């Protein structure tokens, strides 16, 4: 009898000791590796408290998965890039596992488990913090990385703060943040990808986990950086390249790249909350044309709907939507309309009843549909993580196609409800992997824009334009994004620049912010500076809120109208350059707005708070934004030769320079060696420019190239080879400008090329084959003269650049030598 009692007592004692140990150390670590099985390009590891898989994804990308349970079948809404066959050596001994590719080496220590990434020549790129590595505090899993000397951090998507995020912490939980502050976090979207920089090295880490995630870049500690998820597995991709641009390339290989946008979406877009009725919409369109303000889009906010119900038109305000949109088309405008995810609970309403019939709404565990309150009142919400829900939404998009709409603006898709406390126990299909709101929240917006994009592909028949406020990593595959409900304040304009640059560092090239600010009323000076800046932002939309003053360019007086017209016109002349830059984004993931950290990664000046707002717009232009109330400011010029865009004054790189800030001119500079194609002025992309393409070539001391791209700007024929692409190169050592043979079977619109040379002061002529082409001297003004609105004043001549030029036929190949 005593022996029988002894065994249960031992079991109870063992359980007690385990509980006591857990109470003493509630943090569970991975522990020591107990087995490791090499399987091709991956290693499957069992440790004391976890299962681990380390996989070579590409020569420069290594994936690490860790969980306390056996790792489930792989699934991701973000990752679309496939594993590449890689030449890799994986070996192990009693102490460690070595994974070696041509680009990077991973060392996995076994006791305890930890990972270090090093260069082929042995430099530490990134390493787990010894003693912490990866661990769990309740359901939250965190990986701790040792802080390297002088380490900087950039990216992480739509995050406020400085370009360099060192010393800061951030949370990813998509949130509706009306009129957010310049330090607020989180905002609307989640992109858990950042780039670390130290000691001449840079790397990227993408944490693919859709639960709430938290990133610490040395906040409140001097030991580690970390990334954590409030549920699910630790699942991250480590990316190493020598160039930061290549890290973006690899990240967008994983998460996808943007499709070619319709050309009209790169033009100026006029919006407010809200334009109605139909007569007001047409008045805005006609006024833009009468005042010679180039424009391509008008956007309608929620007042176009009948009582804010989706897939309806308010018939008293818009009695004939298709007719109105046909009239706008004749004027050279495309219409974009707003949509929200909430479907009003109203018996007899076609969309609501259709959703009920097809059972596409989010539910509680007891089977009742989740109901939340938004603009129309109490609403149900489509489950976009369900194929059934996405198919239903795609079918509803036909409503807009039949109305002549060309763009879909997805709003409130964080998702937002009044009270901003959607319950944790809402159930989501998650593509056959049922889960709760905790895991699905951050991908809801991504799956909504996926549904809108796929519906538009099906019903619009041409390239659609899709815009979103929310999303997750990979959103660039479906949509442009804008930075939500900003304020009409100086610091918001500059914070907006950093938000867009950070999104660009995080794989999203098509970005914008509300020009002039959404909430509040900008001063005349602020509006002027912002409308200038907008000409150098990928998505150029003027927008303001209900009950604010009108913010169309003519509402701030004739002088402001003149300045706005100048910069919007410049935008349209730069469209060949801009469209080619967007083409580059579709191929490599490089953003249109480029933080100087991309090309000058190890120059400490670009991270200085005084210069962190400067950015490159494509390959050639550097923009220097400043508050509108400043009259002088310092600009930092990185290495190389730089030209003042307006007068060709040259500045040697590697120095600061004080520049004046007149109200009618935004500081813009051109990198030596650059090639900038421009066209004649048009009022809309529905018009054709003249048949001469102007190529501006800036002298420099380094070779450079530019890929010029052209197609019809609207169809998908480019996917069948109907495009015109040619490489243009400048070689200063050989005094040669080359236009290589064009690729594709699209016939260029341009029959002639006007070659304009900047900084070639000693060049008298060009040679093309055996022909000598004398250069003519002249001037070029990128901005028009100020309007003579003061009868007692004088009209100031516009600033201009002294240039030399020659016009040649647009031949299949052309090599021009300067002498």
Cβ–Cβ < 8 Å for 475, 448: no
Q: DSSP state, 388?
A: H
Average pLDDT over residues 432-444: 98
- Return d(Cα 807, Cα 429) in angstroms, integer: 61
Over pLDDT 70: what percentage of the chain? 95
Confidence band of 498 (pLDDT split at 50, 70, 90): very high
pLDDT tens sequence across 223-259: 999 999 999 999 999 999 999 999 999 999 999 999 9
Average pLDDT over residues 559-579: 98
584 is catalytic: no
121 is catalytic: no
**Beta pairing partners, 617:** 593, 621
Average pLDDT over residues 690-706: 97
pLDDT for the residue numbered 77: 98
pLDDT over threshold 60, residue 4: no
Alpha helices in 535-672 (DSSP H): 558-573, 575-588, 596-599
pLDDT tens sequence across 750-763: 999 999 999 999 88
At residue 651, the 3 state secondary structure works out as: strand
Pick the closest to residue 405 from 304, 273, 537 (CA basis). Answer: 304
Over pLDDT 90: what percentage of the chain? 92
158 is catalytic: no
- Return d(Cα 99, Cα 105) in angstroms, integer: 6
Average pLDDT over residues 530-544: 98
Is the pLDDT higher at 15 or at 297? Answer: 297
Confidence band of 793 (pLDDT split at 50, 70, 90): low
- Residue 615 in tokens: 């950015």
Confidence band of 789 (pLDDT split at 50, 70, 90): low
pLDDT over threshold 70, residue 16: no
**Beta pairing partners, 693:** 753
- How far from the centroid of its chain's Cα atoms is residue 288's Cα? 29
pLDDT tens sequence across 36-65: 999 999 999 999 999 999 999 999 999 999
Confidence band of 784 (pLDDT split at 50, 70, 90): confident
Pick the closest to residue 671 from 694, 705, 708, 709 (CA basis). Answer: 705
Strands, E, within 429-562: which ranges? 435-436, 465-468, 480-482, 511-512, 541-542
Average pLDDT over residues 573-591: 98
DSSP letter string over 14-75? HHHHHHHHHHH--EEE---EEEEEEETTEEEEEESS-EEEEEEEETTEEEEEEESSPPPPP-
Cis geometry, peptide bond prior to residue 673 (ω within 30 degrees of 0): no
Q: Which of 67, 340, 414, 514 is catalytic?
A: 414
Contacts of 122 (CB under 8 A, 6+ apart): none
pLDDT for the residue numbered 7: 44
Backbone angles phi, psi at 776, to 5 degrees: -100, 150
Backbone angles phi, psi at 768, to 5 degrees: -125, 105
- Return d(Cα 397, Cα 475) in angstroms, integer: 19
Confidence band of 814 (pLDDT split at 50, 70, 90): confident
pLDDT over threshold 80, residue 791: no
pLDDT over threshold 90, residue 764: no
Average pLDDT over residues 475-484: 98
Cβ–Cβ < 8 Å for 410, 384: no
| Stretch among 112-126, 273-287, 522-536, 772-786 having the lowest mean pLDDT | 772-786
| Stretch among 4-18, 264-278, 531-545, 577-591 having the lowest mean pLDDT | 4-18
pLDDT for the residue numbered 380: 98
Confidence band of 787 (pLDDT split at 50, 70, 90): low
Average pLDDT over residues 387-416: 98
pLDDT over threshold 90, residue 424: yes
pLDDT for the residue numbered 305: 98
- Return d(Cα 358, Cα 21) in angstroms, integer: 52
Average pLDDT over residues 331-340: 98
Contacts of 708 (CB under 8 A, 6+ apart): 576, 580, 677, 725, 726, 727, 728
Label residues 490-529 b or e (16+ Cβ within 10 Å = b). bebbbbbbbbbbbbbbbbbbbbbbbbbbbbbbbeebbbbb
Pick the closest to residue 224 from 266, 284, 167 (CA basis). Answer: 167
pLDDT for the residue numbered 532: 98
Average pLDDT over residues 587-605: 98
Helix 321-330 vs helix 278-290: crossing angle, to nearest 10: 0
pLDDT tens sequence across 183-203: 999 999 999 999 999 999 999
**Beta pairing partners, 64:** 54, 236
pLDDT tens sequence across 141-183: 999 999 999 999 999 999 999 999 999 999 999 999 999 999 9
Confidence band of 771 (pLDDT split at 50, 70, 90): confident
Q: Which of 214, 485, 552, 710 is catalytic?
A: 485
Q: What pTM, to 2 d.p., does this model score?
A: 0.96
Residue whose token pair is 């899709």: 466
pLDDT over threshold 70, residue 786: no
Q: Which of 176, 296, 411, 454 is catalytic?
A: 411
pLDDT for the residue numbered 404: 98
Average pLDDT score over the chain: 95
pLDDT for the residue numbered 11: 47
pLDDT for the residue numbered 24: 67
Is the pLDDT higher at 9 or at 71? Answer: 71
Average pLDDT over residues 302-320: 98
At residue 412, the 3 state secondary structure works out as: coil
């Amino acid at each position: 009898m005593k022996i029988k009692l002894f065994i249960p007592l031992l079991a109870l004692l063992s359980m007690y000791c385990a509980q006591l140990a857990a109470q003493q150390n509630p943090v569970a670590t991975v522990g020591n590796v107990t087995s490791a099985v090499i399987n091709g390009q991956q290693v499957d590891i069992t440790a004391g408290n976890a299962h681990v898989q380390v996989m070579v994804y590409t020569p420069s990308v290594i994936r690490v998965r860790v969980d306390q349970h056996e790792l489930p079948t792989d699934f991701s809404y973000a990752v679309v890039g496939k594993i590449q066959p890689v030449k890799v050596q994986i070996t192990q001994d009693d102490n460690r596992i070595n994974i070696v590719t041509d680009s990077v080496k991973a060392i996995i220590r076994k006791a305890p488990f930890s990972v270090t990434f090093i260069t082929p020549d042995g430099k530490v790129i990134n390493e787990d913090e010894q003693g912490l590595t990866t661990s769990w505090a309740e359901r939250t899993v965190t990986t701790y990385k040792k802080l390297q000397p002088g380490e900087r951090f950039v990216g992480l998507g739509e995050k406020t703060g400085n370009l360099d995020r060192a010393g800061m912490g951030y949370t990813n939980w998509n949130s509706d943040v009306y009129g957010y502050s310049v330090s607020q976090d989180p905002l609307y979207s989640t992109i858990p990808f950042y780039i670390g920089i130290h000691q001449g090295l840079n790397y990227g880490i993408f944490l693919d986990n859709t639960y709430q995630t938290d990133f610490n870049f040395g906040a409140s500690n001097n030991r580690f950086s970390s990334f954590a998820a409030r549920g699910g597995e630790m699942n991250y991709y480590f990316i190493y390249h020598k160039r930061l641009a290549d890290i973006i390339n690899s990240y967008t290989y994983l998460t996808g790249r943007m499709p070619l946008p319709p050309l009209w979406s790169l033009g100026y877009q006029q919006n407010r909350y809200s334009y109605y009725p139909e007569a007001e919409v047409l008045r805005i369109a006609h006024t833009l044309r009468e005042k010679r303000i180039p424009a391509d889009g008008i956007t309608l906010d929620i007042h176009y709907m009948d009582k804010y119900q989706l897939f309806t038109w308010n018939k008293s305000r818009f009695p004939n939507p298709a007719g109105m949109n046909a009239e706008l088309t004749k004027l050279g405008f495309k219409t974009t309309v707003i949509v929200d995810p909430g479907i009003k609970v109203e018996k007899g309403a076609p969309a609501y009843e259709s959703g009920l019939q097809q059972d596409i709404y989010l539910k509680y565990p007891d089977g009742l549909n989740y109901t939340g309150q938004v603009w129309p009142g109490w609403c149900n919400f489509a489950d976009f993580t369900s194929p059934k829900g996405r198919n239903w939404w795609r079918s509803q998009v036909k409503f807009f196609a039949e109305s002549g709409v060309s763009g879909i603006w997805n709003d409130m898709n964080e998702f937002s409800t009044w009270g901003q406390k959607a319950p944790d126990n809402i159930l989501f299909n998650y593509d056959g992997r049922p889960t709760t709101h905790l895991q699905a929240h951050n991908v809801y917006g991504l799956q909504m824009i996926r549904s809108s994009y796929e519906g538009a592909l099906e019903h619009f028949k041409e390239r659609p334009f899709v815009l979103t406020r929310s999303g997750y990593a990979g959103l660039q595959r479906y949509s442009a994004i804008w930075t939500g409900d900003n304020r009409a304040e100086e610091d918001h304009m500059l914070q907006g620049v950093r938000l867009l640059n950070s999104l660009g560092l995080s794989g999203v090239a098509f970005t914008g912010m509300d020009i002039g600010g959404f909430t509040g009323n900008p001063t005349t000076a602020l509006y002027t500076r912002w409308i200038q800046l907008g000409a150098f932002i990928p998505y150029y939309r003027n927008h303001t809120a209900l009950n604010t003053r009108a913010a169309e360019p003519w509402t701030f007086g004739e002088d402001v109208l003149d300045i706005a017209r100048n910069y919007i016109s410049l935008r349209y002349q730069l469209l060949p350059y801009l469209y080619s830059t967007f083409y580059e984004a579709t191929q490599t993931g490089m953003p249109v707005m480029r933080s100087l950290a991309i090309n000058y990664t190890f120059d400490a000046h670009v991270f200085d708070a005084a210069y962190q707002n400067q950015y490159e717009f494509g390959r050639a232009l550097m923009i220097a934004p400043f508050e509108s109330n400043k009259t002088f400011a310092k600009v930092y010029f990185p290495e190389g030769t730089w030209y003042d865009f307006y007068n060709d004054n040259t500045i040697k790189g590697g120095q600061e320079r004080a520049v004046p800030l007149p109200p009618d001119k935004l500081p813009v500079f051109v990198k030596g060696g650059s090639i900038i194609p421009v066209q004649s002025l048009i009022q809309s992309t529905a018009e054709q420019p003249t048949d001469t393409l102007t190529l501006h070539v800036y002298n420099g001391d380094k070779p450079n190239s530019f890929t010029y791209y052209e197609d019809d700007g609207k169809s998908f024929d480019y996917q069948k080879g109907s495009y015109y692409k040619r490489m243009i190169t400048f070689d200063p050592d050989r005094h040669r400008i080359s236009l290589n043979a064009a690729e594709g079977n699209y016939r260029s619109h341009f029959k002639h090329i006007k070659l304009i040379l900047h900084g070639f002061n000693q060049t008298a002529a060009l040679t093309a084959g055996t022909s000598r082409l004398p250069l003519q001297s002249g001037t070029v003004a990128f901005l028009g003269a100020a309007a003579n609105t003061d009868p007692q004043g004088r009209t100031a001549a516009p600033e201009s650049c002294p240039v030399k030029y020659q016009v040649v036929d647009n031949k299949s190949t052309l090599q021009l030598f300067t002498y």
